[in-house]
Amino acid sequence: MDKYIKAPISNEEAKSLRSGDYVYITGKIYTARDAAHKRMYEALERGESLPIDMKNNIIYYMGPSPAREGRAIGSAGPTTSSRMDKYAPSLLDLGLKGMIGKGKRLNTVKEAIVRNGAVYFAAVGGAGALLSKCIIKSTVIAYEDLGTEAIRELEVVDFPVIVVIDSEGNNLYETAIEKYKVE
């Protein structure tokens, strides 16, 4: 079913979402992909604090193309989530409530999602031009030297995503494929 939610996302709202829901997100979310995750993970290992607060926030696995003059952002679709699997459980345990990406996750991530009442969303891969229209503001807030991989705060309006793994561990990638498989 279609749902409209605010970001940051409350504990109750995250738990209410179900695998297969079509969700429109409005509010503030953060981008981070490979290099930013590695850097955050290493900071945690050294006992340092992170440049963004994880609590109830949503991270979008995305590195945009450059914005033309007068635009908030360039093309802005999801990248493959599995490369962040090594780092995601630590961030979920710090309160991260949502991740937006595309593709399969490891079991360790699914367990961390369930443990923390979080949610994994997919955005449509390869729809970067379309998705950019839902981003009205983009500000680099950390790791600027990483270029496209820097951490950005995004202001999004009705950003369309689909719940893949919900807080109960249901996984749309597994259930939907079974439904359409022809033996």
Which value, in Å, is the radius of gyration of the alpha carbons in the chain?
16
How many other CB atoms are there within 10 angstroms of residue 80's CB atom?
14
Give one DSSP letter per residue of 67-118, joined into a string: PPTT-S-S-----BGGGGTTTHHHHHHTT--EEEEBS---HHHHHHHHHHT-
The interface region with other proteins, picked from 8-16, 39-47, 85-93, 144-152 by CB under 8 A, is: 144-152
Instruction: Answer yes or no whether residue 133 interacts with other proteins by CB under 8 A.
Output: yes
The interface region with other proteins, picked from 41-49, 76-84, 113-121, 134-142 by CB under 8 A, is: 76-84
Q: Which is nearer to other proteins, 95 or 103 (CB)?
A: 103
Task: Check 37, 97, 102, 105 and give the catalytic one.
Answer: 37
Give the per-residue contact string, 41-60, with other proteins (x = CB under 8 A; - = no).
Answer: --------------------
At 38, the amino acid letter reads K
One residue of 79, 116, 138, 167 binding other proteins per CB under 8 A: 79
- Write out the binding residues for other proteins, residues 104-123 only, by CB under 8 A: 104, 122
Cα separations (Å) of 28 from 25, 39, 69, 90, 139?
9, 22, 22, 21, 11
What's the rounded Cα separation, in Å, for the pair 112 and 145? 30
Q: Is 37 designated active site?
A: yes
Instruction: Answer yes or no whether residue 126 interacts with other proteins by CB under 8 A.
Output: yes
Task: Report the nearest approach of other proteins to the CB of residue 23 (Å).
Answer: 13
Say if residue 97 is exposed, middle or buried (CB neighbours under 10 Å; 0-12, 13-18, 19+).
Answer: buried
Q: Which is nearer to other proteins, 67 or 94 (CB)?
A: 67
How many other CB atoms are there within 10 angstroms of residue 66's CB atom?
10
Q: Tell me the Ramachandran region of residue 100: left when phi exceeds 0, alpha when psi lies from -120 to 50, beta otherwise.
A: beta
Q: Which is nearer to other proteins, 56 or 148 (CB)?
A: 148
Nearest 5°: the CA angle 166, 167, 173 is 25
Q: Which is nearer to other proteins, 12 or 182 (CB)?
A: 182
Which sequence positions are flagged as catalytic?
37
Q: Which residues bind other proteins (CB under 8 A)?
A: 22, 35, 62-68, 71, 74-77, 79-80, 82, 102-104, 122, 124-130, 132-133, 146-149, 160, 162, 164, 172-173, 175-183
